[in-house]
Structure 1
Amino acid sequence: MASKLAAGIISARWGILVFFIAALAWLGLHISQFRIDASADTLLVKDNKLYIQTQVADQTFAPQEFILLAYEPVSHDLFSRQTFDDIAALSAEIMKIDRVEAVTSIITVPLINDAGALTGDTDVASLSWEKQQYAPAQMKSMISGHPIFTDLLVNRQETATGIQIVFKDNPELAEIDKEITAIQAKVLDGESLSDADNKKIEALKAKADPIRQQLTAQRKAEIEQIEQITQSVSDRANTYLGGAYVVGQHLIDIIKSDLVNFGTAIAAVIVLLLALLYRSFKWVFFPLLSCAVSVFLTMGLFGLLDLRTTVISANFVALQLILTLAVMIHVIGSYREISRDNPAYSQRQRIIATLEDKLSPCFYATLTTSVGFGALIFSGLQPVVAFGWMMLASMLITMAVSLLLFPALLSFLPACKETKEYGFIKALLERLRGLSMRAPLAVSGFVLIVFAVMAAGITRLNVENSFINYFDKDTQIYKELAFIDREFGGSTALDVIITLDEQNASKELVLTADSVAQLQLAQAAIKAFDATGSVTSVVNFTELAKQLNGGKPLTEYELTSIYRLLDEKVVNQLVGAYFSAEDNAFRISTRIQDTTEGLNRQLFMTQLQSDLKATGLDDSQYELTNLFVLYQDILSRLFDSQIKTLGIVYAVLALVLFAIFRSLKVTLIALLPNILTTLGILGIIGWSGISLDIMTITIAAIAMGIAVDDTIHFLHSYLSGMKQGDGSADAGSRSAFGHSGLAILFTSTIIATGFSLFGFSDFLPSVYFGLLTALAMLLALFTDLSLLPALLNRFVGKKSSR
Structure 2
Amino acid sequence: MKYFYNFVLKKSGYSIVLLLFVLGFFILQIPNFQLDASSDSLVLEGDNNLRYYENIKKNYGSDDYLIISYQVKDNLLAPEQLEHLARFRKDLKTVDQVKAVTTILDVPLFQSPPLSLTELASKNISIDNGNANLVLALEEFKTSPLYADNLVSKDGKTSAILITLKGNEVFAQRRQKRNTMRIQRANNELSTEELTQLISLEKQVLQDATTQSDLQAKTIAEIRTTIGKYRDKAGLFLGGLPMITTDIISYISSDLVVFSIAVIGLMTLILAFIFKGIRWVLIPIGISITGALTMTGVLAFLGWKVTVISSNFFSLLLVMTLSVTIHLVVRYRELAQNDPDLDYITLIKTTLEQMLKPCLFTTLTTIAAFGSLLISGIRPVIDFGWMMSIGVTIALVLSFIIFPIIMSFLPKAKIQTFNTELGITNSLASFTEKFGNHLLIVLVLFIGISAVGISKLSVENRFIDYFKESTEINQGLTLIDKKLGGTIPLEIVFDDLAEDYWYDEDLRVDIHKIHQYLDSLNETGKVLSIDTLMQILAQANDNTLPNGFFLNIIKNQISGAARTQIIDPYLSEDSGQLRMVIRIRETNTELKRAALIEKIEHFISKDIGFKKDTFHTTGMLVLYNNMLQSLFDSQIKTIAVVFAMIFIMFLFIFKSFTLSLLAIIPNMLPSLFILGIMGLMNIPLDLMTITISAIAIGIGVDNAIHYIHRFQEEFQKDKDYLATMYRSHNSIGLAMFYTSITVTLGFLILALSNFIPSIYFGVFTAIAMISALLANLTLLPKLILMVKPKI
- Specify if TM > 0.5: yes
Does structure 1 conserve the Cα–Cα contact (< 8 Å) formed by 2:122 and 2:557?
no
Alpha-carbon separation, structure 1, partners of 2:150 and 2:729: 66
Match of 1:399 among 396, 401, 415: 396
How far does residue 700 in structure 1 lie from its aligned partner after superposition? Answer: 1.6
1:733 corresponding residue in structure 2: 725
1:675 alignment partner in structure 2: 668
Give the superposition deviation at 1:740.
Answer: 0.4
Matched with 1:38 is 37
Deviations 1:305-364 (A, max 9, x none): 111100000000100100000111111100111112222234312211211221111111
Deviation for aligned residue 1:258: 1.5
The whole-number CA distance in structure 2 between the counterparts of 1:476 and 1:245 is 15
> Is residue 286 of structure 1 aligned with residue 279 of structure 2?
no
Distance 2:121 2:683 in 1: 58
State the partner residue of 1:716: 709
**How far apart, CA to CA, are the structure 1 residues paired with 2:757 and 2:492?**
30
Q: Letter of the aligned partner of 2:647 in structure 1?
A: A
2:140 matched to which residue of 1? Answer: 142
Letter paired with 1:71: Y
Give the aligned partner of residue 348 of structure 1: 345
Q: Between the two proteins, what is the percent identity of the paired residues?
A: 28
SS of residue matched to 2:718 = coil
Contact 1:145 1:156 in 2 (8 A): yes
Inter-CA distance 428–231: structure 2 relative to 1 (3 Å threshold):
closer
Aligned with 2:44: secondary structure? Answer: coil
What code does the residue aligned with 1:771 have?
A: V
Query: Which of 753, 763, 788 is matched with 1:761 structurally?
Result: 753
Quick one: which amino acid aligns to residue 465 of structure 1? N
For residue 617 of structure 1, report the CA deviation from its aligned partner: 0.7
Change (3 A) 1:715 1:634: same
CA distance in 2, matches of 1:23, 1:794: 50
Structure 2 residue runs without a partner (length 5+): none
C-alpha distance in 1 between matches for 2:694 and 2:3: 34
Q: Which residue of 2 aligns with 1:473?
A: 469
The SS at the match of 1:694 is: coil
Which residue of 595, 602, 605 maps to 1:610? 602
Q: Which moved more, 1:78-87 or 1:669-678?
A: 78-87
Cα separation, partners in 2 of 1:576 and 1:10, compared to 1, 3 Å: farther
Residue 253 of structure 1 aligns to which amino acid in structure 2? S
**Which amino acid in the other structure matches residue 489 of structure 1?**
G
Task: In structure 2, give the amino acid aligned to 1:46.
Answer: E
Alpha-carbon distance change, 116 to 792 in structure 1, aligned in 2, over 3 angstroms: closer
Asked if the contact 1:180–1:201 (Cα under 8 Å) also holds between the matched residues in 2, the reply is yes
Q: Which residue of 2 aligns with 1:657?
A: 650
Q: Equivalent residue for 1:772?
A: 764
Letter paired with 1:39: S
CA distance in structure 1 between the partners assigned to 2:499 and 2:431 by the alignment: 83
C-alpha RMSD of the superposition = 2.6
Matches of 1:30 and 1:480, distance apart in 2: 37
Aligned residues: 789
What letter is aligned with 1:153?
Answer: L
SS of 1:233 mapped into structure 2: coil
Give 1:491's aligned residue: 487
Range that drifts further, 775-784 or 166-175? 166-175
Could you give the per-residue CA deviations for residues 545-574 of structure 1, whole angstroms, max 9, x where no partner exists?
111223232232433444456573146479
Aligned residues of 1:59 and 1:178 also touching (Cα < 8 A): no
1:542-691 paired onto structure 2 within 5 Å: 542-563=534-555, 568-570=560-562, 572=564, 577-613=569-605, 614-691=607-684
State how far apart, in whole Å, the 1-side matches of 2:556 and 2:243 are: 31
Of 498, 521, 524, 2:513 maps to 521
AA aligned to 1:788 is: L
Q: Compared with structure 1, are the counterparts of its residues 565 and 652 closer, same or farther at alpha carbon in structure 2 (3 Å cutoff)?
A: farther
TM-score relative to the length of structure 2:
0.94
Distance 1:367 1:437, change over 3 A: same
Query: Does the residue aligned with 1:106 lie in a helix, a strand or coil?
Result: coil
TM-superposed deviation, 1:453: 3.3
| C-alpha separation in 1, matches of 2:114 and 2:541 | 6
CA 1:483–1:777 in 2, change beyond 3 Å: closer, same or farther?
A: same
Q: Could you state the TM-score of these two structures normalised by the residue count of structure 1?
A: 0.93
State which drifts further: 674-683 or 139-148.
139-148
1:308 to 299, 305, 309: 305
Q: Equivalents in 2 of 1:445, 1:359: separation in Å? A: 36
- Which of residues 741, 747, 767 is equivalent to 2:739? 747
Deviation at 1:192?
3.4
1:335-374 alignment, distance < 5 Å: 335-374=332-371
Of 632-641 and 316-325, more deviation after overlay is shown by 632-641
Q: Deviation per CA, 1:175-202, whole angstroms, max 9, x where unpaired?
A: 33454466568799x8834444444444
- Structure 2 Cα separation of the partners of residues 435 and 232 of structure 1: 66
Secondary structure of the equivalent of 1:130?
Answer: coil
Q: CA deviation at 1:212?
A: 2.8
> Do 2:152 and 2:159's aligned partners in 1 also have CA atoms closer than 8 Å?
yes
- Which residue is equivalent to 1:318? 315
Amino acid at match of 1:340: Q
**Distance change >3 Å, CA 732–CA 42, structure 1 → 2:** same
Q: Which amino acid aligns with 1:525?
A: Y
**What SS is found at the alignment partner of 2:311?**
helix
Q: Contact (CA 8 Å) 2:152, 2:160: kept in 1 or not?
A: yes
Structure 1 unaligned spans of 5+? none
The amino acid that maps onto 2:400 is: L
Moved more, 428-437 or 323-332: 428-437
Code of the aligned partner of 2:39:
A
User: Using the alignment, how far apart are the partners of 1:567 and 1:216 within structure 2?
Assistant: 36
On the 8 A contact 2:44/2:626 being kept in 1, the answer is no
The more displaced of 492-501 and 296-305 is 492-501
User: Is 1:101 matched with 2:99?
Assistant: yes
- For residue 57 of structure 1, what is the aligned residue in structure 2? 56
Give the counterpart letter for 1:740 in structure 2: I
SS in 1 for 2:267: helix
Q: 2:492–2:615: 8 Å Cα contact kept in structure 1?
A: yes
Matched letter for residue 453 of structure 2: G
Distance 1:18 1:572, change over 3 A: farther
Distance 1:289 1:731, change over 3 A: same
Q: Is contact 2:117-2:541 (8 Å) kept?
A: no
Q: 1:63 to 1:352 in 2, by over 3 A?
A: closer
SS at match of 1:586: strand
The answer to whether the 8 A contact 2:181-2:198 is kept is yes
1:464-494 deviation line (CA, Å, top 9, x unaligned):
2111111111111111111111111111110
Comparing 62-71 with 239-248, which one deviates more in the overlay?
62-71
CA contact (8 A) 2:117 2:537 kept: no
SS at match of 1:786: helix
Please tell me whether residue 79 in structure 1 is matched to residue 77 in structure 2: yes
Letter in 2 for 1:498: F
Q: Contact 1:673–1:787 at 8 Å: present in 2 too?
A: yes
d(CA) in 1 for partners of 2:598, 2:378: 22
1:458 aligns with 2:454: yes
Partner of 1:249: 246
Provide closer, same or farther for how the CA distance between residues 335 and 180 of structure 1 changes in structure 2, counting only shifts above 3 A. Answer: closer
